């Protein structure tokens, strides 16, 4: 199967035209598909800090959640924040991000389904229920049947990606990804938006665990984190193997 890589695109497009700060893109007409009954997950549910626990402002949410079918792909992002934060301040950073996404950018809610800080703590992002297939606003053209996981920070070349962060992304990804999908494998997706790197209706073969740049003209999730995607895939596979033998 042919895998189209956008890293090539990133090399030929002037940096000034790339989206350097990761942020969800306003959705076109939402696809209100009926969610299929959930199958048993491929890995245990990790500990997740709920929106209530990080004190999300639910009054900011403009529309109710839209649900799609089983999660076929995981898209990894970064948020563009400084890396020199204390993890105890992550909830405050999430509240500020929620306000920026909604009031500043005009989106309905935080675009990412989950956010993971550098200490490995997993936070509920977009509202609608962590155990359900909530359609995010994190990957234009590929929001359906996917989950968006954002690393809190910025991962330029040479930045060290904390092991705890890799493990946190892997834990929630292993749980959310359809148990029939190999985290190290390739999945078939169909673009729903011409604003992605692919025409609407175009069939695309992607890594089951991909970077935002694989479907959109963006620098996200940064060179350092993008280079660690193989490690995240391997950790997800390890978590699932351990779950099968436990």
Q: How far apart are the first and last CA of the chain?
A: 34
- The predicted-structure confidence for 130-159, as pLDDT tens digits, reads as follows 999 999 989 999 999 999 999 999 999 999
- The predicted-structure confidence for 35-67, as pLDDT tens digits, reads as follows 444 568 999 999 999 999 999 999 999 989 999
Angle of helix 229-245 versus helix 163-176 axis, rounded to 10? 60
**In this structure, are residues 145 and 170 in contact, taking their beta carbons and an 8 Å threshold?**
no
Question: What torsion, rounded to 10 degrees, do the Cα atoms 161, 224, 204, 139 define?
Answer: 70
Provide the whole-model pTM: 0.86
Q: Compute CA distances 216 → 77, 113, 199, 220, whole Å.
A: 11, 18, 11, 9
Q: Supply the pLDDT for residue 78.
A: 98
Conformational region of residue 128, where left means phi above 0, alpha means psi within -120 to 50, and beta covers everything else: left
Give the C-alpha separation, 244 to 128, whole Å: 28
């Amino acid at each position: 199967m042919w895998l189209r890589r956008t890293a090539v695109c990133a090399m030929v497009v002037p940096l000034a035209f790339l989206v350097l700060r990761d942020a969800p893109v306003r959705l076109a007409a939402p696809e209100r598909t009926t969610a299929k009954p959930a199958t048993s997950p491929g890995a245990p549910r990790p500990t997740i800090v709920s929106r209530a626990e990080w004190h999300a402002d639910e009054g900011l949410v403009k529309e109710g959640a839209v649900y799609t079918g089983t999660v076929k792909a995981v898209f990894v992002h970064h948020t563009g924040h400084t890396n020199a934060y204390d993890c105890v301040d992550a909830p405050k950073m999430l509240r500020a991000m929620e306000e920026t996404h909604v009031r500043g950018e005009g989106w309905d809610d935080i675009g990412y389904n989950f956010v993971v800080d550098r200490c490995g703590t997993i936070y509920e992002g977009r509202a609608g229920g962590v155990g359900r297939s909530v359609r995010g606003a994190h990957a234009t053209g590929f929001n359906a049947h996917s989950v968006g996981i954002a690393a809190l920070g910025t991962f330029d070349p040479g930045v060290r990606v904390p092991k705890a962060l890799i493990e946190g992304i892997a834990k929630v990804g292993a749980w959310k990804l359809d148990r029939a999908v190999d985290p190290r494998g390739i999945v078939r997706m169909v673009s729903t938006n011409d604003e992605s790197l692919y025409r609407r209706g175009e069939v695309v073969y992607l890594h089951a665990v991909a970077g935002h740049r694989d479907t959109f003209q963006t620098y996200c999730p940064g060179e350092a984190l993008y280079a660690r995607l193989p490690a995240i895939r391997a950790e997800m596979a390890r978590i699932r193997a351990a779950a099968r033998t436990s």
